Protein backbone atom coordinates (compact mmCIF):
# COMPACT_ATOMS: atom_id res chain seq x y z
CA UNK A 1 0.00 0.00 0.00
CA UNK A 2 1.21 3.54 -0.80
CA UNK A 3 1.17 6.24 1.87
CA UNK A 4 1.85 10.00 1.65
CA UNK A 5 3.00 12.35 4.38
CA UNK A 6 2.80 16.13 4.59
CA UNK A 7 5.64 17.18 6.86
CA UNK A 8 5.93 20.75 8.15
CA UNK A 9 9.30 21.66 9.61
CA UNK A 10 9.67 25.03 11.37
CA UNK A 11 11.98 26.79 13.77
CA UNK A 12 11.17 26.51 17.47
CA UNK A 13 9.72 29.57 19.26
CA UNK A 14 12.52 31.90 20.31
CA UNK A 15 14.94 30.79 17.58
CA UNK A 16 15.93 33.76 15.39
CA UNK A 17 14.36 33.32 11.93
CA UNK A 18 16.66 35.31 9.65
CA UNK A 19 14.83 34.13 6.53
CA UNK A 20 11.50 35.19 8.04
CA UNK A 21 12.94 38.58 8.97
CA UNK A 22 14.23 39.08 5.41
CA UNK A 23 10.83 38.22 3.91
CA UNK A 24 9.07 40.52 6.39
CA UNK A 25 11.42 43.38 5.48
CA UNK A 26 10.74 42.85 1.76
CA UNK A 27 6.99 42.81 2.33
CA UNK A 28 7.26 46.02 4.38
CA UNK A 29 9.20 47.67 1.54
CA UNK A 30 6.36 46.61 -0.80
CA UNK A 31 3.99 48.58 1.42
CA UNK A 32 2.58 45.89 3.70
CA UNK A 33 1.99 47.00 7.28
CA UNK A 34 4.58 45.34 9.51
CA UNK A 35 3.83 41.61 8.87
CA UNK A 36 5.46 38.99 11.10
CA UNK A 37 6.85 36.08 9.05
CA UNK A 38 8.27 32.64 9.90
CA UNK A 39 9.62 30.48 7.08
CA UNK A 40 9.92 26.68 7.27
CA UNK A 41 9.92 23.61 5.03
CA UNK A 42 6.95 21.77 3.51
CA UNK A 43 8.07 18.25 2.61
CA UNK A 44 5.82 15.78 0.84
CA UNK A 45 7.05 12.14 1.01
CA UNK A 46 5.52 8.99 -0.48
CA UNK A 47 6.49 5.42 0.46
CA UNK A 48 5.24 1.83 0.25
CA UNK A 49 4.24 0.35 3.64
CA UNK A 50 2.23 -2.62 4.91
CA UNK A 51 -0.16 -0.48 7.00
CA UNK A 52 -0.69 3.09 8.19
CA UNK A 53 0.99 2.56 11.57
CA UNK A 54 4.22 1.28 10.04
CA UNK A 55 4.04 4.16 7.53
CA UNK A 56 3.73 6.68 10.39
CA UNK A 57 6.69 5.06 12.14
CA UNK A 58 8.82 5.29 8.98
CA UNK A 59 7.92 8.94 8.33
CA UNK A 60 8.73 9.85 11.94
CA UNK A 61 12.08 8.06 11.74
CA UNK A 62 12.86 9.94 8.49
CA UNK A 63 12.29 13.21 10.35
CA UNK A 64 14.61 12.20 13.18
CA UNK A 65 17.23 10.74 10.81
CA UNK A 66 17.43 13.53 8.24
CA UNK A 67 14.58 15.97 7.71
CA UNK A 68 14.53 17.80 11.05
CA UNK A 69 17.28 19.43 13.11
CA UNK A 70 15.79 18.66 16.52
CA UNK A 71 17.99 21.25 18.28
CA UNK A 72 16.27 24.21 16.62
CA UNK A 73 13.30 22.78 14.71
CA UNK A 74 9.89 21.30 15.49
CA UNK A 75 7.75 19.35 13.02
CA UNK A 76 4.31 17.93 12.33
CA UNK A 77 3.46 14.90 10.16
CA UNK A 78 0.07 14.30 8.49
CA UNK A 79 -0.23 10.80 6.94
CA UNK A 80 -2.79 9.57 4.40
CA UNK A 81 -3.30 6.40 2.42
CA UNK A 82 -2.89 7.01 -1.33
CA UNK A 83 -5.15 5.38 -3.97
CA UNK B 1 -7.96 42.23 14.62
CA UNK B 2 -4.94 39.94 14.14
CA UNK B 3 -4.99 37.21 11.50
CA UNK B 4 -2.55 34.36 10.77
CA UNK B 5 -1.99 32.52 7.50
CA UNK B 6 -0.35 29.16 6.86
CA UNK B 7 0.98 29.36 3.31
CA UNK B 8 2.29 26.24 1.54
CA UNK B 9 4.34 26.95 -1.58
CA UNK B 10 5.36 23.98 -3.76
CA UNK B 11 6.61 23.25 -7.24
CA UNK B 12 3.99 22.54 -9.92
CA UNK B 13 3.59 18.93 -11.13
CA UNK B 14 6.16 18.17 -13.81
CA UNK B 15 8.70 20.74 -12.60
CA UNK B 16 11.99 19.04 -11.69
CA UNK B 17 12.46 19.15 -7.91
CA UNK B 18 16.25 18.95 -7.48
CA UNK B 19 15.98 19.51 -3.72
CA UNK B 20 13.43 16.73 -3.44
CA UNK B 21 15.65 14.40 -5.49
CA UNK B 22 18.62 15.15 -3.21
CA UNK B 23 16.60 14.42 -0.06
CA UNK B 24 15.25 11.21 -1.60
CA UNK B 25 18.79 10.08 -2.48
CA UNK B 26 19.97 10.77 1.09
CA UNK B 27 17.03 8.84 2.55
CA UNK B 28 17.77 5.93 0.19
CA UNK B 29 21.41 5.92 1.33
CA UNK B 30 20.12 5.76 4.93
CA UNK B 31 18.31 2.55 3.99
CA UNK B 32 14.79 3.80 3.21
CA UNK B 33 13.09 2.01 0.32
CA UNK B 34 12.93 4.40 -2.64
CA UNK B 35 10.86 7.29 -1.16
CA UNK B 36 9.54 10.00 -3.49
CA UNK B 37 10.11 13.47 -2.04
CA UNK B 38 8.98 17.00 -2.97
CA UNK B 39 10.26 19.95 -0.96
CA UNK B 40 8.49 23.32 -0.69
CA UNK B 41 8.10 26.27 1.67
CA UNK B 42 5.91 26.59 4.76
CA UNK B 43 5.41 30.29 5.48
CA UNK B 44 3.52 31.55 8.51
CA UNK B 45 2.47 35.24 8.28
CA UNK B 46 0.62 37.39 10.81
CA UNK B 47 -0.98 40.78 10.06
CA UNK B 48 -3.53 43.24 11.43
CA UNK B 49 -6.72 43.49 9.33
CA UNK B 50 -10.25 44.85 9.74
CA UNK B 51 -11.93 41.51 8.89
CA UNK B 52 -11.13 38.01 7.60
CA UNK B 53 -11.99 38.81 3.97
CA UNK B 54 -9.57 41.72 3.79
CA UNK B 55 -6.97 39.56 5.56
CA UNK B 56 -7.42 36.84 2.92
CA UNK B 57 -7.06 39.42 0.17
CA UNK B 58 -3.82 40.75 1.70
CA UNK B 59 -2.30 37.29 2.15
CA UNK B 60 -3.15 36.38 -1.44
CA UNK B 61 -1.59 39.62 -2.72
CA UNK B 62 1.56 38.89 -0.68
CA UNK B 63 1.81 35.53 -2.45
CA UNK B 64 1.48 37.12 -5.87
CA UNK B 65 3.79 40.04 -5.02
CA UNK B 66 6.64 38.14 -3.40
CA UNK B 67 6.17 34.71 -1.84
CA UNK B 68 5.31 32.61 -4.91
CA UNK B 69 6.98 32.29 -8.31
CA UNK B 70 3.80 31.68 -10.29
CA UNK B 71 5.70 30.30 -13.30
CA UNK B 72 6.83 27.16 -11.46
CA UNK B 73 5.05 27.22 -8.11
CA UNK B 74 1.54 26.65 -6.78
CA UNK B 75 0.35 27.62 -3.30
CA UNK B 76 -2.40 27.21 -0.72
CA UNK B 77 -3.37 29.71 2.01
CA UNK B 78 -5.17 28.78 5.26
CA UNK B 79 -6.32 31.85 7.24
CA UNK B 80 -7.41 32.01 10.89
CA UNK B 81 -8.33 34.77 13.32
CA UNK B 82 -5.79 35.00 16.17
CA UNK B 83 -6.80 35.66 19.78
ipTM of the complex in this document: 0.92
Q: Are strands A2-11 and A73-82 parallel, antiparallel or unpaired?
A: antiparallel
Show the domain range for A52: 2-82
- Mean pLDDT for chain A overall: 97
Measured between CB atoms, does B49 come within 8 Å of chain A?
no
Residue in chain A closest to B46 (alpha carbons) equals A36
Task: Say what percent of chain A tops pLDDT 70.
Answer: 100
Q: Within 13 Å and on the Cβ side, how many CA atoms surround B4?
A: 10
User: Given this model, what pLDDT does residue B57 score?
Assistant: 97
CB contact under 8 A, B40 and A43: yes
CATH of the domain at A75: 3.30.1280.10
Report which DSSP code applies to A56: H
Give yes or no for a contact between B79 and B7, defined as CB atoms under 8 angstroms apart.
no
Q: What pLDDT digit, counting tens, does each position of B5-54 carry?
A: 999 999 999 999 999 999 999 999 999 999 999 999 999 999 999 999 99
User: Given this model, what pLDDT does residue B83 score?
Assistant: 74
CB contact under 8 A, A40 and B35: no
Structural domain count, chain B: 1
CB contact under 8 A, A30 and B67: no
Measured between CB atoms, does B33 come within 8 Å of chain A?
yes
Contacts of A10 in chain B (CB under 8 A): 42, 44
Residue in chain A closest to B35 (alpha carbons) equals A47
Give yes or no for a contact between A62 and A45, defined as CB atoms under 8 angstroms apart.
yes
Q: What pLDDT digit, counting tens, does each position of A40-74 carry?
A: 999 999 999 999 999 999 999 999 999 999 999 99
Measured between CB atoms, does A57 come within 8 Å of chain B?
no
Amino acid sequence: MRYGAEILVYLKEGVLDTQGKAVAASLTRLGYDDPSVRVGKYIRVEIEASDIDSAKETFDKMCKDLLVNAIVEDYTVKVEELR
